[in-house]
Structure 1
Amino acid sequence: MQYDPIKRSLGRVFNLHPGLRVLFYNLLDLLLLRSWYIRRELRKWRKIARPDAKILDAGSGFGQYVWRIARIGSGYSIKGIDIKDEQVADCNDFFRKRGLGSRVIFECATLEDFNEKDNYDLILSVDVMEHIEEDERVMKNLCYALRKGGMLLISTPSDKGGSDVHHHDSDGAVGFIDEHVRDGYNADDIRQKLHRAGFSEVETRYSYGKPGSLAWKLSMKFPILALNFTKLFFIVLPFYYLLAYPIAYILNHIDLAQTHREGTGLIVKAIK
């Protein structure tokens, strides 16, 4: 499955104007259920956060979550790090144009070599850990970078079929998203890894239960499969979402309101 080229194509379109990029962020917030879960956790964190909190987005991508955090806290200082030079440059350019360059910065860095001590109140890791072979090393680095009492917030696929990733099928088939180094995390396994990394408290919750998984197929999987088949589907896409998104929206609300025994995603909060 060629997922990254689709993301790059969309990114180039929405990068043509700062207003289009803001629209892109808003669309991601609407479409991606993981963003719904992250926004809920950020609202909880904000109630206890310092007004001058320092935040790290560890794997910032397009800068979607940095944008949201910068808007909910005018005193927050935020750093986004990513391994892709072009995305770091695009994000720095966009945030400067939006007048946020004084408290928001993006840098190119690898999490395996990240080395800052007691510097952050909150670290985000959204759909990053499943891409990293040396995940325990990264967890230790992020724990080291947090202040005492700081929180690491992780969103990642679970081992219950997260994102339809199945690299090791007996027939050799490749999963829907083929950039992951692991199919997903077992809840107990990631808790143990985080405790070994130095975190004192770890809480895990499943996301993407049955309603969320169906919403993800409607809002993400089916359109991306169609776009991989033919780019002409870009023309049909707005009409598809007019029909499919109201259903996905309701399913996302149901998923967020439920406590799931199992799900294809995990939301993890780890306290130093």
Structure 2
Amino acid sequence: MHYDPIKDRLGQWMSRHPWLQRTFYGLLNLLFLRAWYVRRTVRRLLSSFPETRPVRVLDAGTGFGQYAYFMARTFRNVHVDAVDVKRDYLRRAQHFADQTRVGPQISWIEDDLTQLQVEGPYDLILSVDVMEHIEDDERVFQHFERVLRPGGYVVINTPSDQGGSDVGGEADEGFIGEHVRDGYNMNALAEKLRRAGLVPVEQTYTYGPYGSAAWSWLIKRPMQMLGTTWAALFILPLYYLMVLPVGLFLNAKDVAHPNETGTGLLMVAQKPSV
């Protein structure tokens, strides 16, 4: 089963009206543990910049645009260049953002990260669950270093090599079959960033035992139900009524307790100051 087509169809349906899109963003932020980690890290890093000066952010692989919207809504001094190769994603996200007060703070740009054309300098680059889809990742990291301001940060969230693509065995392509690599080894990712001129400063395993259990209950099983029949949309409200409290408790436990290992990986790197 491939998870991305189901996710894409849900995103297209939820973009039909601003209140649906806002609800969709809220659900992504609530159900996906990665959003808990990413939003916490991004909020901390952006808060370290003076409120009196503009801050430029590159959302590298913006997808549905929820993180670009979050950053612009939370920080009035932030301008986000939201980049993606999928024109339909950009069009839907821009249509929603333009109907909100944060619309002028976000530029929606069709671009390929391996041939990045945008110009910096950026204070922060965010890449959430993107690099596992790109074969030539080191070229992307070189572009990140090129457009990043000295002292600026890169935040990368990605599956780890501890089963991050939900791979169960050698013959199992996994629940998520669209990745070019099953996940990153923490040390190998850090070394690739160093070769690009970026210095890793934080390395965190996410989706430990608690988070992995929450992923199964909150995301994987519902997606499998939708993969079988879209009629499951009528069942899912009752399903979440039962499992949501437990799933959110597990997410909170994962964030609160450092994981020795996990199926997710969050890494922060910095470009050395000149």
**TM > 0.5:** yes
Alignment of 1:107-256 (within 5 A): 107-165=109-167, 169-170=169-170, 172-256=171-255
Number of the residue aligned with 2:28: 28
Amino acid at match of 1:243: M
Number of the residue aligned with 2:107: 105
Equivalent pair of 2:73/2:102 in contact (CA under 8 Å)? no
Shift of 1:231: 1.3
Between 87-96 and 130-139, report the one with greater CA deviation: 87-96
Shift of 1:173: 2.8
Calculate the TM-score normalised by the size of structure 2: 0.95
Gaps of 5+ in 2: none
Shift of 1:92: 1.6
Equivalent pair of 1:62/1:87 in contact (CA under 8 Å)? yes
Equivalent pair of 2:69/2:102 in contact (CA under 8 Å)? no
CA distance in 1, matches of 2:200, 2:232: 46
Q: Percent identity?
A: 43
Structure 1 264/190 Cα, relative in aligned 2: closer, same or farther at 3 Å? same
CA distance in 1, matches of 2:212, 2:246: 12
CA distance in 1, matches of 2:85, 2:229: 29
Shift of 1:21: 0.4
CA distance in 2, matches of 1:232, 1:74: 41
Superposed CA deviations along residues 130-152 of structure 1, whole A, max 9, x for unmatched, are 00000010011011111001000
Number of the residue aligned with 1:88: 90
Structure 1 243/112 Cα, relative in aligned 2: closer, same or farther at 3 Å? same
The 3-state SS of whatever aligns with 2:152 is strand
Shift of 1:118: 4.2
Amino acid at match of 1:267: L
Structure 1 113/232 Cα, relative in aligned 2: closer, same or farther at 3 Å? same
Equivalent pair of 2:153/2:268 in contact (CA under 8 Å)? yes
Shift of 1:253: 0.5
Equivalent pair of 1:191/1:202 in contact (CA under 8 Å)? no
CA distance in 2, matches of 1:136, 1:27: 32
Number of the residue aligned with 2:43: 43
Number of the residue aligned with 2:260: 261
Between 4-13 and 214-223, report the one with greater CA deviation: 4-13
Number of the residue aligned with 2:16: 16
Equivalent pair of 1:78/1:103 in contact (CA under 8 Å)? yes
Equivalent pair of 1:123/1:153 in contact (CA under 8 Å)? yes
